[in-house]
Amino acid sequence: MADTMIDAIKRRVSVRTFSAEPVPPEVMDAFRGGMLRNGADLFGNRPRFLVIDPREERLGETAGLFTYGVVKNPGFFIAGAVPRGPGALTDFGYAMERHILEAVSLGLGTCWLGGTFSRSAFSRAMGLRDGELLPAVSPLGIPAAEKSLVDGVLSFAARSRLRRPWKEIFHRGRPGVPLSPGEAGAYAEVLECVRMAPSALNRQPWRVVREESADVFHFYIVSEGGGGEIRLPEIDIGIALCHFELAAGALGLSGSWSGKTGSGGVEGWTHILTWEGR
């Protein structure tokens, strides 16, 4: 339903401490049903996802070791894999965030983990295939009333509730000219949903330029590059594109993604996709 998606986007926070209370089976059934409905990608790479029960023997270790002690009492994990290819990590971010938001709308806590988890243990549990990457996982469970010490320190270090101001992220016509919520018109709420998106280390590497006189939004990544095969900013932008599209859909704003840059290249920014509103 319309506002449930925007509501889920606004309510979502990283949860690393879960209650020992088990997730009701009907909630997990609803989540699995949503996973089947929510499959989508932007660049044609088909991520696949699996719900993993840490109590199952094949994990072979306790769930705490799996996440180096960052996550306490996870009920389940959702893990995903995507074939290597252009746009694979962005497709992964875009697809996984739909599952995360579905979980949030069912009252579950989640936390993107792109670093603090045992990639080899999850690759085994997932049955990772040749040519596939396993970019990230998330615990799923009932949020605990109080955060663990590690969770508190991590949330504080990432300044989890804070986001860059509008003027840094959203631009009008060209980079450096700030776009105000008033100028964004009907899209102001949609862009706010992009601003609230989670990103690795809360770096918020996304930048958006709205064309001067049309609902055309160019999405870019700013990043220093590097980081090996799992380039987290590419996952982050997939999450931002997911938030944009779901919020636009919820508000009845139609449009579609295209690869064209319109205003041309911007130094230091990598163009990913453009939304053309109709």
Q: Give the binding range for ligand FMN (CB under 6 A) out of 36-44, 80-88, 112-120, 251-259.
A: 112-120
118 binds ligand FMN (CB under 6 A): no
CA distance 200 to 234: 10
Give residues 81-110 in contact with ligand FMN (rule: CB under 6 A): none
Nearer to ligand FMN, 198 or 255 (CB): 198
Cα pseudo-dihedral 172, 178, 183, 188, rounded to 10: 100
CA distance 245 to 165: 21
Provide the minimum distance between the beta carbon of 43 and ligand FMN in the complex, in angstroms, as a whole number: 17
CA quadruple 67, 72, 73, 75: dihedral positive or negative? negative
Give residues 188-217 in contact with ligand FMN (rule: CB under 6 A): 198-202
Give residues 5-64 in contact with ligand FMN (rule: CB under 6 A): 13-14, 16
The helices-and-strands tally (H runs, E runs) of the chain is 10, 10
Helix, strand, coil shares, percent, the chain, to 5: 40, 20, 40
Crossing angle between the packed helical segments 2-11 and 88-105, to the nearest 10 degrees = 100
Provide the minimum distance between the beta carbon of 121 and ligand FMN in the complex, in angstroms, as a whole number: 14
Nearer to ligand FMN, 100 or 216 (CB): 100
The amino acid sitting at 144 is A
Q: Which of 113, 190, 208, 216 binds ligand FMN (CB under 6 A)?
A: 113
Q: Determine the 3-state secondary structure of 109 from DSSP.
A: strand
Provide the minimum distance between the beta carbon of 99 and ligand FMN in the complex, in angstroms, as a whole number: 13
233 binds ligand FMN (CB under 6 A): no
The answer to whether 232 and 200 are in contact (CB under 8 A) is yes
Nearer to ligand FMN, 64 or 262 (CB): 64
Tokens of 215: 């609902």
136 binds ligand FMN (CB under 6 A): yes
Phi-psi region of 87 (alpha: psi -120 to 50; beta: other; left: phi over 0): left
Q: Give the binding range for ligand FMN (CB under 6 A) out of 29-37, 52-60, 209-217, 229-237.
A: 229-237
Nearer to ligand FMN, 36 or 149 (CB): 149
Provide the binding-site residues for ligand FMN, judged by CB under 6 A.
13-14, 16, 70, 111-116, 136, 154, 158, 160, 198-202, 232, 235-236, 239
